[in-house]
Amino acid sequence: MGLRLYFDAGCTNECSTDMSNPDQTRQAVASGGQLQEQRSLWIKSDDAQKTYENVILTASGDDANADYEYAPDSGGSPGTWAASVAPSNGTFGTAVRVWRRVTCPNVTSPFNRTNIKHSLAWDEYAV
């Protein structure tokens, strides 16, 4: 099947693309304040007979009101934040840690966004 995105380093809690187990943020924010939350995500292959190149993780459906950014892992902390992250080519047999940050400026009331999804793309080759 290819690469999968997980919430945990053990790769037991998959971040679904069908929204059955979505990436969620729940945080109290004072009216007019900014919500900003970051978390680790892990990318892992489900096929030991494949290697992957040109891997890119980005968000679809985000905007100025709910902006998603990604960063490579840098010794257990996020590296430089950008609209996407491109891990090094490899087999992804061992999970690769990346970071996700969501920023929602000027929050005036509680809201629920269900249209933002992680998008993971890659080129796949036999080992």
8 Å CB contact between 100 and 23: yes
**What is the model's pLDDT at position 16?**
85
Q: Give the tokens for residue 2.
A: 């290819």
pLDDT in tens, the chain (127 residues): 799 999 999 999 999 877 788 888 888 999 999 999 999 999 999 999 999 999 999 999 999 999 999 999 999 999 999 999 999 999 999 999 999 999 999 999 988 888 889 999 999 999 9
Domain boundaries, given as residue ranges, for the chain? 3-126
**What is the model's pLDDT at position 102?**
96
Q: What is the DSSP string of 65-80?
A: TBEEEEEEEETTEE--
Stated pTM of the model? 0.92
Rounded Cα gap, residues 9 and 7, in angstroms: 7
**What is the model's pLDDT at position 113?**
86
